[in-house]
Amino acid sequence: MSSFMDWETPQEFYDAINLEFAFDIDLCASIGNAKHTNFYSKDQNSLSQEWKGTGWLNPPYDKSIGLWMKKAYEASQKGATIVCLIQGRSSDTVWWHEYVMRSSEIRYIKNRIHFGKDGIFTRSNISSVVVVFTPYCQGSPKTSSIDCKGLQIV
């Protein structure tokens, strides 16, 4: 049975975002899908850790996502930069309005990302966005469009 962190971000997408941000850590990963040599696994319970520096976050797309967004926002208020790849269909939720709308930036992704599981990449059944929390951000977030390879659309 797969764990909640088994969906892998496509390497090409991560590389494009990492080129801009130079991540220090993957905040929600497993040994098989970590995008950085420094990462928190499920056993390390990332939500109980202190997030510092510049972190990549592809959290579970489940009901816990509000906790992850709260943690990302709180870490930014302590000086961290947290870049999150999350579901895009949640703009009506409390957590979206409490935390995403206080971020620095929301990047809407044109087309669907193909996430991997057990080495097989398939098209996501929901849209995704990248939310950027920079140190001490308060919103209103800047918006832009990127493609499913992580590149800006002009």
Q: How many domains does the chain have?
A: 1
Sheet holding 105-110, edge to edge: 25-26, 54-57, 81-87, 128-133, 105-110, 142-147
Q: Is residue 107 part of a domain?
A: yes
Q: Is residue 120 part of a domain?
A: yes
Which range of residues forms the domain containing residue 19? 11-147
Condensed to tens digits (0 to 9), the pLDDT of residues 76-109 reads 999 999 999 999 888 999 999 999 999 999 999 9
Burial class (CB in 10 A: 0-12, 13-18, 19+), 45: exposed
Cβ neighbours, 10 Å, residue 31:
7
Q: Is residue 39 part of a domain?
A: yes
Q: Which two tokens mark 29?
A: 């990963």
Q: Is the separation of the CB atoms in 93 and 66 below 8 Å?
A: yes
pLDDT above 90 covers a percentage of the chain that reads: 73
Q: Is residue 121 part of a domain?
A: yes
Cβ neighbours, 10 Å, residue 52:
13
CA distance 123 to 112: 6
- List, as one string, the DSSP characters of 32-48: TT-SSSSB--GGG-GGG
CATH for 43: 3.40.50
Condensed to tens digits (0 to 9), the pLDDT of residues 107-137 reads 999 998 988 777 777 788 888 999 999 999 9
Q: Is residue 153 part of a domain?
A: no
Q: Is residue 3 part of a domain?
A: no
Q: Is the pLDDT of residue 4 over 70?
A: no
Condensed to tens digits (0 to 9), the pLDDT of residues 12-45 reads 999 999 999 999 999 999 888 999 999 999 899 9
Q: Is the separation of the CB atoms in 103 and 65 below 8 Å?
A: no
CA distance 137 to 102: 7
Q: Is the separation of the CB atoms in 22 and 53 below 8 Å?
A: no
Record the pTM: 0.92
